[in-house]
Structure 1
């Protein structure tokens, strides 16, 4: 409980925070649908991302590092240039070089300079990185099912379509 001041009566009344927040919400008009969609999208993304970090944590990697490893697994055996990895990331990060440094220090990624173009550094996932991804495959699949369990298959398909449509407005990859 905390105290809130009632302006009209000049009384201080004990009110729970939950009650006070509810009153505040009820007093405001509903936000425009676009603002509500934006806030809900970011809030949902933040919560889903935080939940996925919990899946990755026991394996000592972040969700972004997992994303890099998945990208490199798909580029086996040739690997990819660092900038191409950055372009394919789900979540853009300015620190791709530092992230790859950390993955390389863990033995999950290897870098190589190609003789035909010494300016371009290629990265590839190591056997240790592939083993880690194999360990993560089942927990990640379970997470994906669980994260969207409130939606039917039809709703999930519609949801993905709406998100893709929204993403296209902001430039597609």
Structure 2
């Protein structure tokens, strides 16, 4: 498994090798969120790389697993993604080429493509689930449950303010 993110012993100013103080607590918070997201992305990329999939592809597979047998139209998948990809068609195409999803034209609208996870995609997720759960525990384990609840509330407030 990949090495966990840095232990936090350095400040954000030190990590970014910035010599001047932040303009405001808001700037520091925004850069801190971006830096943390980057570190988490790097950590998960290393976890998924041996299986040959990206974080976005993993996200699509999880969304399709949750959708069940009915599957989802391509644009509905994009709307549910953690980081909505403009190139959702290409993401689905790569998963299809890898034999992890099936695609069908919609019944009502032939222009619509409905995607479903297949047995190979489900098997891949089943293999990844324990390592992903462990990685989530490693990352979130840096905080107490109370801190995680507070963090979730703060992040929800920020997301709501952005629309």
The TM-score bracket by the shorter chain reads 0.7 to 0.9
**1:45 corresponding residue in structure 2:** 37
Write the deviation string for residues 16-70 of structure 1: whole angstroms up to 9, x where unpaired.
xxxxx98x73xx3443111111111101100111101111111110110000000
**1:169 corresponding residue in structure 2:** 161
Specify whether residues 60 and 29 from structure 1 end up closer, same or farther in structure 2 by C-alpha distance, changes over 3 A only.
closer
Q: What is the TM-score normalised by the length of structure 2?
A: 0.86
Q: Tell me if 1:148 matches 2:122.
A: no
Structure 1: gaps (5+ residues): 1-20
Write the mapping of 1:78-89 to structure 2, written as runs, cut at 5 A.
78-89=70-81
The DSSP-based 3-state class of the residue aligned with 1:117 is coil
More strand, by proportion: 1
From 73, 76, 99, the equivalent of 2:68 is 76
Q: What is the TM-score normalised by the length of structure 1?
A: 0.81
The DSSP-based 3-state class of the residue aligned with 1:102 is helix
- Deviating beyond 6 angstroms after TM superposition, the runs of 4 or more aligned structure 1 residues are none
Alpha-carbon distance in 2 for matches of 1:29, 1:108? 48
Higher relative contact order (CA 8 A, sep 6+): 2
**1:58 corresponding residue in structure 2:** 50
**2:119 corresponding residue in structure 1:** 127
Structure 2: gaps (5+ residues): 1-15
The DSSP-based 3-state class of the residue aligned with 1:115 is coil
